[in-house]
A = this chain, B = another copy of it.
Amino acid sequence: MPNIREVAKRAGVSVATVSRVLNHPERVSPQTKDRIDKIMVEMDFSPNVFARSLNLKRSNSIALIIPDIQNPQNMEIARGVERVAHQKGYNLLLCNTEKDREKEQSYIRMLMEKKIDGIILAFTLLLQADFDEIQKKNIPIILFGQNVLKKNISSVYSDFKEGAFIAVSHLIELGFKRIAYICGGEDHLENRDKTLGYKEALLKAGDKVSEEMIFQGKDDIDSGYLAALKLLKQTPRPDAVFVANDLMAMGAIDALRTEGIRVPEDISIIGYDNIKMSALIEPKLTTVSWPVYKMGLISARILIEEVENSGDVKMTQNIFLSPKLKIRKSCGHEARVSEIFD
């Protein structure tokens, strides 16, 4: 593993010239550049990144912090981010917080010490104090999926309140009267937004919101299963359920099936996320889709932009992509429509 000095010696030039070939090739004559390039491959030389980073104060890596690596939506973010990062020559550090604020904070600390170039924070549990800490260190961050505009922090988000509103309004239009709600962990802001959307849709339709119709889940399959079992004990039994994500919806459907309840004939279900699997279960899940992968791409792009233009005045971008209803079978659309016209 040769260093720049040896390359310079072999080429009969100064280290400054070799360095310039590496960093400002336009300031070096094409002939010498070619010659030095050749010698570098020949010697299998590549500049020592540690030394370079020490000097430049950049690591050429970005980090993605997600709450749950087992959630396919989280992985879609990662897929998008990885793609852009690799394409732009950045490494991607993956940080899975397991929905644990302490682990998230520990990661943040680790990353700041590591002098990471930038961070994408998805569905964060951090508090304002934590953000202040990060901003003090001047590390660019992108907030992903957070519908709260923070001063000087760029964000990429989808409106989960709106999405929930659309979903529940759909159920209302189909004529359902007792619409239950299985919500996700309330420490996550986007889940609170969904709750707001659920309530607002009911209120707008003149229905009243009953807390007994809200069942607490924890964003994963098993908690969806459990919530559905509880929900069945409710009398009168709900005739439709809005589930805050597809994973829980799939758990819920599984529970209903084991209990012999038919979906959508006995109960309609609507999910959120439009994960790939939601089209493979029986009945195919009606759900709210939002462009996670694309949002992952965008996040990485604007993060890297911020990293590379950190000299200029900072431009804070807040990018918004809307959710859309994806109608399939789990709300028995066709069946219901005819019922309505009975």
Q: Which residues of A are in contact with B by a Cβ distance under 8 Å?
A: 1, 46, 48-51, 53-54, 57, 59, 61, 69-70, 72, 75-76, 78-79, 82-83, 86, 89, 91-96, 103, 106-107, 110, 113-115, 137, 221, 250-251, 253-254, 257, 276-277, 279-282
Contact = CB atoms under 8 A, between A and B. Distances in A.
> How many copies of this chain does one complex carry?
2
B114 A96 contact: no
B69 A250 contact: no
24 contacts: A50-B53, A50-B57, A50-B115, A61-B93, A69-B75, A69-B79, A70-B75, A70-B76, A83-B96, A86-B96, A86-B103, A86-B107, A92-B93, A92-B94, A93-B94, A94-B94, A250-B277, A250-B280, A251-B280, A254-B279, A254-B280, A281-B281, A281-B282, A282-B282
Given A221-B276, A280-B251, A280-B254, A78 B86 contact: no
Report whether over half of chain A's contact residues are helix, strand or loop; otherwise say mixed. helix
Contacts of A114: 49, 91
A69 B82 contact: yes
Which has the most chain B C-beta neighbours within 10 Å: A107, A253, A281?
A281
Contact of A280 (B49, B51, B281): B281
Contacts of A79: 69-70, 96
Contacts of A57: 50
A282 B263 CA distance: 13
B250 A113 contact: no
A127 B83 CA distance: 24
Contact of A94 (B50, B82, B254, B276): B82
Contacts of A115: 48-50
